[in-house]
Amino acid sequence: MKNNLLKMATIVVIAASITLSCSKEVAKVYPNEMTIENWEEFVHVPDDVIERFVTEELENRSMTPVVEDRSLSHGRAWQLGRVRAWSGSWQGIQSVNVTNGSATSSTTSSGYYIVNTATSGSNAVCMDYTTAELNGVSTLDLVLIQRHILGIAPFDNITPESDAARRYVASDLNHDGTIDSDDIDAIRATILGSAPLPGNNMTFV
């Protein structure tokens, strides 16, 4: 009986030591915050670590709905409309180009526009943002792009395909048709404030 107890105790001790050993080898503590200084530490982390940061960023991001009110008033060859955004109450957005065929109108400070509807075509609203370039850009983007470049988490594996396409467009910062280290350098420089994003036109997706 004594020998059996001794064997059981030995098994328990061995099992406990194995568990502790596995925990020490497998478990790794990652920083709670992703910064411009430590972002490269997260490139090879497990997917669930990335998902946690993606979830937190989505929860903290304030989405601003935008609506276009068409045909507030219209005549035989013109149309009055308004482009608005929610910021506690609906407010007009300035500097938005509205085109209809070959006719173009820019919204006033209150968001109103008058566009010539004598030409063929329907309204196309094109945002001309005057806010800071970093709106929506973060160090998490650096990690996601680097993981794509290294083949760890390619954008092609994202579903639906429309989401994958948006990531391709948003990640090609210099619009050269290739996602590479130049795009990462451009985002990093913008986050640090040492350079604006390249190109004359920005793509929002």
Per-residue model confidence as pLDDT tens digits over 130-189: 555 565 688 999 999 999 999 999 988 877 777 788 888 888 888 888 999 999 998 898
Three-state SS string over 27-96 comes to CCCCCCCCCCCCHHHHCCCCHHHHHHHHHHHHHHCCCCCEEEEEEEEECCCEEEEEEEEECCCEEECCCE
Whether pLDDT at 4 is above 50:
no
Q: Across residues 98-123, what is the average pLDDT?
A: 78
CA torsion, ordered 117, 119, 120, 122, to nearest 10 deg: -40
Q: Can you give the pLDDT at residue 108?
A: 87
Please write the tens of the pLDDT for every residue from 39-53: 999 999 999 889 888
93, 113 Cβ separation under 8 angstroms:
no
Report residue 121's pLDDT band, with 50, 70 and 90 as the boundaries: low
What percentage of the chain's residues is helix, strand, coil (to nearest 5)? Answer: 40, 20, 40
pTM of the model: 0.55
56 vs 185, more confident: 185
Domain ranges of the chain: 39-61+136-192, 66-127
88 vs 32, more confident: 32
Q: Can you give the pLDDT at residue 10?
A: 39
